[in-house]
Amino acid sequence: MNPRLANPQYNFKEGTILLVDKPLEWTSFDVVNKIRYKVKHKLGVKKIKVGHAGTLDPLATGLLIICTGKFTKKLNDLQGLVKEYTGTIKLGATTPSYDAEKEEDAQFPIDHITEEMIEKTRQTFLGDIEQIPPIYSALKVDGERLYKKARKGIMVEIKPRPVHIYDFDIQEVRLPFIDFRIKCSKGTYIRSIAHDFGKVMDSGSYLTGLRRTEIGDHHVDDSWNLEELIEYIDNMEIPPEED
């Protein structure tokens, strides 16, 4: 049942799990910070633990699992759950960030690409694969986030990382765009899959849209709209402290 319809009672101080639909252009930290600020103000406390179970890029939307209080101890387990995404790949061009955050930096032919070729390419991404994370990512190398190194123009050798793709379905082909659904392991960069997809077909490609729909058994359909969650926190009744 959608929590907004279930009249939930959360104990933020002791610990709770929140499902939140991250808005476009918000960072995952922005969402955590907003909730932490509102809860601290509502409870009248100086500190409260709040964290999320897996980063979403600013240009992605969808499911974030937020934990508060003692439930933040569950974050590592939640991060390891299988995740599902839907999104769109654009063929025929690349960007330095592997998504629409940066401008297109190269163009490639797509006249030779057929639906049969797309299907064969899809199959190469199933199961255990290795991928190189985007240079514009939050992955740390030598103690510094990769995107910070990229903005400084520092070249970094990024080693391939093993991930597992459980399902990868092409939902619609409308060249130059391909709509997809993917189910994958922890640590998978969908932007890297989008970038590599065109490369396999002797072209280029990048991610133009992404939405996380599932984390384990948790589904985005059961999540809070962030504005509604903030309104709920502002208006919730705080039970009196026991003597």
- For the chain, the domains span 3-80+217-235, 83-215
CA angle at residue 45 from 43 to 46, to 5 degrees? 150
- Kind and range of the H or E run holding 209: strand 205-215
User: Residue 11: what pLDDT?
Assistant: 87
Reading the chain (243 residues) residue by residue, the pLDDT tens digits are 455 545 567 888 889 999 999 999 999 999 999 999 999 998 888 999 999 999 999 999 999 999 999 999 999 999 999 999 999 999 999 999 999 999 999 999 999 999 999 999 999 999 999 998 887 666 666 666 666 665 666 667 778 899 999 999 999 999 999 999 999 999 999 999 999 999 999 999 999 999 999 999 999 999 999 999 999 999 887 765 533
- In this structure, the chain runs to a length of 243
Report the DSSP beta bridge partners of residue 220. Answer: none
CATH T-level fold of 3-80+217-235: Alpha-Beta Plaits (3.30.70)
CB atoms within 10 A of CB 43: 14
User: Residue 9: what pLDDT?
Assistant: 73
Catalytic residue status for 57: yes
The token duo for 127 is 């199961």
User: Residue 211: what pLDDT?
Assistant: 98
Class of residue 3 by CB neighbours under 10 A (exposed 0-12, middle 13-18, buried 19+): middle
* The CATH number of the domain covering residues in 83-215: 3.30.2350.10
Collapsing DSSP to helix, strand or coil, 113 comes out as coil
Alpha helices by DSSP H, listed for the chain, are: 28-43, 75-79, 115-124, 146-151, 190-200, 226-235
Domain 3-80+217-235 and domain 83-215, same fold? Reply is no
User: Residue 1: what pLDDT?
Assistant: 45
Collapsing DSSP to helix, strand or coil, 119 comes out as helix
Catalytic residue among 21, 30, 57, 142: 57
* 52-56: long-range pairs with CB below 8 Å, 24+: 52/28, 53/78, 53/79, 53/81, 53/215, 54/28, 54/78, 54/79, 54/83, 54/186, 54/215, 55/28, 55/138, 56/22, 56/28, 56/212
